[in-house]
């Protein structure tokens, strides 16, 4: 499954939305707050700002030092909440130790384009489509739809129960609509006999952050396998000495699965595309 191609389609739709908003004098604006100088976070933030600008939106990055106090971050979030020209706010994770990650709850739910605020989490759980859905699981749903994967009645197994990926992913697959309607099992580190669970999956979604945790013998023949994992592993053959590795043993699983996402080029590109889609939606809702 080609995440780059599907993400390009999503971006086209987003660009159309941006053009329509601009005609009304609204320029969607995403403010990303980066605290500290973690190189991976800095790279993610750069790609988010670049994507916003490529689509005709405003992408603003607010950089704060790693020594920032929680109260200082809260003051910035409050300022962005109060600024009507800001439609989406994203606080890049991870935050330095002195700041409670729950600080993201300070973001106004109507600007919470990451979908992490409890109000948006609650809306997802009760099937209220008016909230924001976390970008990575939302991107997986678009991939499944684009590839016409039959979900209704399927057994879906999700490995991982994080608030960012696993739990919202499970909630989406459980929704009462024809693009979901799965019977969902969620696995984690305490799951007894993981392979016996994964072998029952018609759709297997892996978000464990463990390189090659899913091997060929753990997959039911014909299953659809979505690899969310992005692990940096050593590779002496690579120029940088490292490369990205998914949670799935791609070469072994492609022999068994009917559809499979690669890493990179699968779920990753969808995440940023969905962030852009959420920001345009936030701007549309604010303009109403
Ligand atoms: N492509 C993208 O855009 C994108 C976006 C977000 C995340 N990711 C990647 O997706 C992966 C997961 O991210 P995350 O934020 O959800 O990670 P996380 O917060 O570390 O959660 C990992 C989950 O996997 C479970 N797990 C770990 N080892 C396991 C094992 N051996 N057997 C069964 N379950 C196991 C953990 O169980 P416990 O709860 O019991 O600890 C936990 O629920 C990471 O590689 C991350 O980099 C990719």
Does residue 230 have its Cβ closer than 6 Å to ligand 1?
yes
For the Cβ of 207 lying below 6 angstroms from any atom of ligand 1, the answer is yes
Binding site membership of 188 for ligand 1 (Cβ less than 6 Å)? yes
Residue 159 in contact with residue 187, Cβ under 8 Å?
yes
Separation of 285 CA from ligand 1 center, angstroms? 32
Residue 244 clears pLDDT 90, i.e. is over it: yes
**Residue 271: pLDDT above 80?**
yes
Asked whether the predicted pLDDT for residue 288 surpasses 80, the reply is: no
Give the CA count within 13 Å in the CB-facing half-sphere of 63. 11
Q: Per-residue confidence at 266, pLDDT binned at 50, 70, 90?
A: very high
Q: How many CB atoms lie within 10 A of CB 29?
A: 22
**Whether the CB of 19 sits within 6 Å of ligand 1:** no
215 lines ligand 1 (CB under 6 A): no
Ligand 1 atom 29 nearest Cα: 189
- DSSP labels for the chain? --HHHHHHHHHHHHHHHHHHHHHTT---EEEEEEES--HHHHHHHHHHHHHHHHTT-EEEEEEE-TT--HHHHHHHHHHHHH-TT--EEEEPSSPPTTS-GGGGGGS-GGG-TT--SHHHHHHHHHT-TTSPPPHHHHHHHHHHHHTT---TT-EEEEE---TTTHHHHHHHHHSSSTT---EEEEE-TT-SSHHHHHTT-SEEEE-S--TT-B-GGGS-TT-EEEE---EEEE-TTSTTSEEEE-SB-HHHHTTT-SEE--SSSSHHHHHHHHHHHHHHHHHHHHH-
- Distance from the alpha carbon of residue 17 to the mean position of ligand 1, in angstroms: 33
189 lines ligand 1 (CB under 6 A): yes
Q: Tens of pLDDT along 213-235?
A: 999 999 999 999 999 999 999 99
Question: Would you state the pLDDT for residue 287?
Answer: 79
**Averaged pLDDT of the chain:** 97
Residue 157 Cα to ligand 1 middle (Å): 14
Catalytic positions are: 48, 92, 114
Tell me how crowded residue 31 is: count the other CB atoms within 10 A of its CB: 26
Query: Ligand 1 centroid to 55 CA: how many Å?
Result: 30
Greater model confidence, 40 or 256: 256
Q: Is 136 exposed, middle or buried (0-12, 13-18, 19+ CB in 10 A)?
A: buried
Going along the chain from its start, the domains and CATH numbers come out as 14-108 (3.40.50.10860), 135-268 (3.40.50.720)
**Residue having the nearest C-alpha atom to atom 44 of ligand 1:** 209
Substitution site in 90, 185, 189 for ligand 1 pocket (most atoms within 8 Å of beta carbon): 189
Q: Is the CB of 181 under 6 A from ligand 1?
A: no
- For 98-128, the pLDDT digits (tens) are 999 999 999 999 999 999 999 999 999 999 9
User: Ligand 1 centre from 185 Cα, in Å?
Assistant: 15
Among the atoms of ligand 1, which is closest to the Cα of residue 190? 40
Residue 266 CA: nearest ligand 1 atom is 1
């Amino acid at each position: 499954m080609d995440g780059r191609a599907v993400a390009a389609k999503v971006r086209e739709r987003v660009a159309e939305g941006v053009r329509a908003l601009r005609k009304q004098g609204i320029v969607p604006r995403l403010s990303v707050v980066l605290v500290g100088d973690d190189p991976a976070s800095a790279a993610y933030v750069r790609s988010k700002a670049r994507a916003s600008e490529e689509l005709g939106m405003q992408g603003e990055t607010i950089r704060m030092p790693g020594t920032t106090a929680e109260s200082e971050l809260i003051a910035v979030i409050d300022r962005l909440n109060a600024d009507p020209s800001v439609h989406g706010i994203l606080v890049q994770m991870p935050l330095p130790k002195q700041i409670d990650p729950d600080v993201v709850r300070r973001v106004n739910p109507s600007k919470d384009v990451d979908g992490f605020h409890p109000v948006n989490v609650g809306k997802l759980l009760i099937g209220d489509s008016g909230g924001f859905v976390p970008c990575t699981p939302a991107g997986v749903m678009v991939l499944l739809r684009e590839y016409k994967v039959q979900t209704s009645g399927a057994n879906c197994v999700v490995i991982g129960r994080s608030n960012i990926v696993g739990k919202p992913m499970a909630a989406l697959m459980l929704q009462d609509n024809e693009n979901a309607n799965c019977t969902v099992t969620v696995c984690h580190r305490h799951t007894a006999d993981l392979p016996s669970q994964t072998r029952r999956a018609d759709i297997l979604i892996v978000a464990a952050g463990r390189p090659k945790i899913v091997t060929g013998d753990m997959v039911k023949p014909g299953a659809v396998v979505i690899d969310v994992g992005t692990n940096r592993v050593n590779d002496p053959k690579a120029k940088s000495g490292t490369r990205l590795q998914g949670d799935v043993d791609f070469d072994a699983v492609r022999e068994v699965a009917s559809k499979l996402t690669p890493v990179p080029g699968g779920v990753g590109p969808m995440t940023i595309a969905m962030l852009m889609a959420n920001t345009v939606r936030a701007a549309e809702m604010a303009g109403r």
